[in-house]
């Protein structure tokens, strides 16, 4: 069984702990935004450890859109590399938990549609896109 490696950032670690310890009844909104988030449990591509990250909740039918914005930073967030290497994840949306498989969506009409849904859920993504010197990765997590 792989070991859980908590997030390095204090606020992220605290949110993950609150979300999980409450069974998904607390910690379900991202910081001061009041907007819903999900927890993505995945495997580290270098450590093989279990990783957990809160992301904005962008639901489309039975799937979720995962956006690797990192606030428009120069580099992708570490979890993007983890998902590329290990696409099997678990999504916690409040009290519900599902095994899912992610796929990165390349530039094109499907990505455009998913991006529009992401911006509708969290309008700051558009600011991040303009700021980022890279194409922000977009993944679709689908039921297994």
Rounded Cα distance between 121 and 81, Å, is 24
For residue 85, give both structure tokens.
């290497």
Average pLDDT for residues 7-32, to the nearest whole number?
93
> Which pLDDT score is estimated for 33?
83
Q: Which domains does the chain have, with CATH numbers?
A: 10-143 (2.30.110.10)
pTM of the predicted protein model: 0.96
Q: How many CB atoms lie within 10 A of CB 50?
A: 16
100-133 pLDDT, tens digit each:
999 999 999 999 999 999 999 999 999 999 999 9
pLDDT at 12 over 90: yes
Q: Is the dihedral of CA 5, 10, 16, 17 positive or negative?
A: positive
β-partners of residue 91 are 40, 98
């Amino acid at each position: 069984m792989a070991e859980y490696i908590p997030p390095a950032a204090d606020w992220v670690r605290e949110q993950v702990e609150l979300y999980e310890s409450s069974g998904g009844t607390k910690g379900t909104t991202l910081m001061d935004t009041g907007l819903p988030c999900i927890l993505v449990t995945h495997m580290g591509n270098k450590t093989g450890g279990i990783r957990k990250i809160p992301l904005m909740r962008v639901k489309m039918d039975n799937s979720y859109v995962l956006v690797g914005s990192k606030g428009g930073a120069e580099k992708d967030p570490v979890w993007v590399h983890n998902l590329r290497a290990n696409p099997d994840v678990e999504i916690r949306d409040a009290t519900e938990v599902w095994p899912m498989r992610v796929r990165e969506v390349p530039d094109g009409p499907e990505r455009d549609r998913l991006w529009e849904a992401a911006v509708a859920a969290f309008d700051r993504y558009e600011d991040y896109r303009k700021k980022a010197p890279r194409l922000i990765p977009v993944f679709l997590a689908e039921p297994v």
